[in-house]
Amino acid sequence: MNMIGKEIRLERIIDRNTRKTVIIPMDHGFTLGQIEGLTNMTNIISEVSEGGANAIVLHKGMVKIGHRKSGKDIGLIVHLSASTAMNPDPNDKVLVCTVEEAIALGADAVSIHVNLGASQESRMIEEAGIISKDCTHWGMPLMIMIYPRGKDISSTSPASVGHCVRVAEELGADLIKTNYTGDPISFRKITEACSVPVLIAGGEKAGDLETLRTIRDAVSAGATGVCMGRNSFQRSDPRRFVHSICNVIHRGVDPEKAMVTR
């Protein structure tokens, strides 16, 4: 098992001093099209990297557009699965990239998406198992983005979120992205029962202070950081807001002060 490769690559994603991370996913264009914030990929990648983000998530075709072209370096996670909002069931994620392709692109990690409770759950779990095997073989860290999504399933229920985290851990994830349950007490029970770093998703865009308070609460409950897209790249000043997120996660600054501290 090539674990040293995973360790070396994870150092580009998780801060070695704080043991926390700020990841900005930018894979939304595949699902939603030319959405606000992601129409100029070169600029937005530069903005979030200068803001202090540890890594970004891109689909394979977008890597050549702006990653590591100039400015501050930033970790690269290549996303392997996708769907579009045009599909009657956007929860149906399929593989569109391989671990080997991600290695050729210079990725520091790969990510896949699994929706528990969706009608295609079995296939997504099966594909995640295959990708996990490939990641172990190549020494490539695997982030599993896993959510409770389906008929009559609460997306933030502690039981459902906890089940998602356990499935990802059992599949061999090195990082797990999932929904925040909404309160630190229930979320701490989830993180304490998991041996793998857990990151919270950002979801729909919310207010600056509200978002930073949620991040603070999640980190206080054991989250290793955030994997937050629209709640970061759709701000009027993405660089400043990502800097504020980093203040909360890496420097422990109160949200009220984090927004003005540069």
The residues annotated with a catalytic role in the active site are 27, 147, 177
Q: How would DSSP label each residue in 165-202?
A: HHHHHHHT-SEEEE---SSHHHHHHHHHT-SS-EEEE-
Terminal alpha carbon distance of the chain: 43
Nearby residues of 230 by Cβ (< 8 Å), 6 or more positions away: 28, 35, 37, 202, 203, 204, 205
Nearest Cα to 54, choosing from 196, 194, 206, 228?
Answer: 228
Contact 53, 25 (CB under 8 A): no
Nearest Cα to 229, choosing from 38, 7, 14, 16?
Answer: 38
**Structure-block tokens of residue 187:** 């979320």
